[in-house]
Amino acid sequence: MIHGGAGALEDLKHEASEATFQQSITAILEQGRSRLEQGDSALDVVEHCVMLLEDDRLYNAGQGSVLNAEGKVEMDAALMNGSDLRAGAVACVKHIKNPIALARRVLEQGDHVLLVGDGALEFAKFCEVTTYPDEYFITEARILQLAEAQAAGRMTLDHERIKPSQKLGTVGAVARDLQGNLAAATSTGGLVNKRWGRVGDTPIVGAGVFADNETCAVSATGYGEQFLRTVLAKTISDFVQFKGLDAVAASQAGIDYLVRKVNGDGGVIVIDGAGNCAAAQSTSGLIRGWIERGGEAHCKLG
Ligand code: ASP
């Protein structure tokens, strides 16, 4: 299951871009399916799907990242392996083509879980992951979006409607492989007009990402601060573990908790150990697609 962010997506219903999102989501899902069918691990597949999402300018991650208050791109990403709870994350990174690939290197290297800023960039050079100059990331549309947020004095979700042109978002993937292992990955450019140095929920294990074979795998999107304060991904996992809920009930219980405790805006995708796929959201839209137990590919934007 993959997602392309939560927010106000009503405009998509009336535009050709609805088909563009559907094509993108379906093509990436099918790549994930074929790798899982070949026997690839859930961890490899969530990394691969998120890299494809990062390389697509439709989404607020990698190349399509939104701009912070300084007009710069600072990205966060993380992934987690459900069989042994290994995790890797990077925060506040610049110039990295695929932050999720760097997070994977952190996971594999094994000494640390989270690297930030210049230290993460130095590690990226050591690992020889691909880097690009600012121009690769910064587009006219993102400059305009930042100007609109600044004119409104707001810090916004990529999807949020200051003007009806904003409808893109953070990305994530969750998967269960043929061995029954679970994994989750999330990647983002964060919030439009965020303070430089700000880190959201995305790279924080238990907030924007979580995977445990005993429970479920979760990838979140929405106002990061609210997901941090509610530790939402781990809260959903706890609902599976301690209340015996499946992915469908746990994702809804998680969003109910997010709304009840902090009036939160966002959504989650969840897969449980039995392979049930679920999504829940408090925003009007959540771009997501799923293939449940090898069946048909589905895509939903609302
Ligand atoms: N959760 C992300 C953040 O707060 C934003 C998003 O999901 O669109 O950085």
Residue 294 predicted with pLDDT over 50: yes
Residue 172 predicted with pLDDT over 60: yes
The vertex-92 CA angle with 88 and 97, nearest 5°, equals 75
**Cβ atoms of 106 and 221 closer than 8 Å:** no
Task: Work out the percent of the chain whose per-residue pLDDT is above 70.
Answer: 94
**Cβ atoms of 186 and 73 closer than 8 Å:** no
Determine whether the shortest distance from the Cβ of 281 to ligand 1 is under 6 A: no
Catalytic residue among 170, 186, 202, 283: 170
Ligand 1 atom closest to Cα of residue 208: 1
Angle separating helix axes 117-127 and 99-109, nearest 10 degrees: 80
DSSP strands (E only) in 137-195: 171-176, 182-188
Largest CA distance in the chain: 51
Residue 160 predicted with pLDDT over 90: no
The vertex-166 CA angle with 162 and 167, nearest 5°, equals 135
How far is it, in rounded angstroms, from Cα 301 to Cα 32?
19
Determine whether the shortest distance from the Cβ of 160 to ligand 1 is under 6 A: no
Average pLDDT over residues 92-113: 97
Determine whether the shortest distance from the Cβ of 285 to ligand 1 is under 6 A: no
Residue 166 predicted with pLDDT over 50: no
Quickly state the pLDDT bin for 163 (edges 50, 70, 90): very low
Ligand 1 atom closest to Cα of residue 158: 8
One-letter amino acid identity for 283? T
What's the CA-to-centroid distance between 190 and ligand 1, angstroms?
A: 5
Residue 164 predicted with pLDDT over 60: no
Quickly state the pLDDT bin for 140 (edges 50, 70, 90): confident
Which class is domain 2-300? Answer: alpha beta
User: Is 170 noted as a catalytic residue in this protein?
Assistant: yes
Give the 3-state secondary structure of residue 33: helix
Q: Residue holding tokens 């449980």?
A: 272
* Residue 265 neighbours by CB under 8 Å, 6+ apart: 6, 7, 157, 222, 223, 226, 282, 283
Q: So what's the pLDDT on residue 152?
A: 84
How far is it, in rounded angstroms, from Cα 237 to Cα 250?
8
**Cβ atoms of 52 and 33 closer than 8 Å:** no
Average pLDDT over residues 22-45: 97
**Cβ atoms of 114 and 90 closer than 8 Å:** yes
Quickly state the pLDDT bin for 203 (edges 50, 70, 90): very high
Determine whether the shortest distance from the Cβ of 4 to ligand 1 is under 6 A: no
What's the CA-to-centroid distance between 258 and ligand 1, angstroms?
A: 14
Q: So what's the pLDDT on residue 12?
A: 54
Q: What is the pTM of this model?
A: 0.94
Residue spans per domain, the chain = 2-300
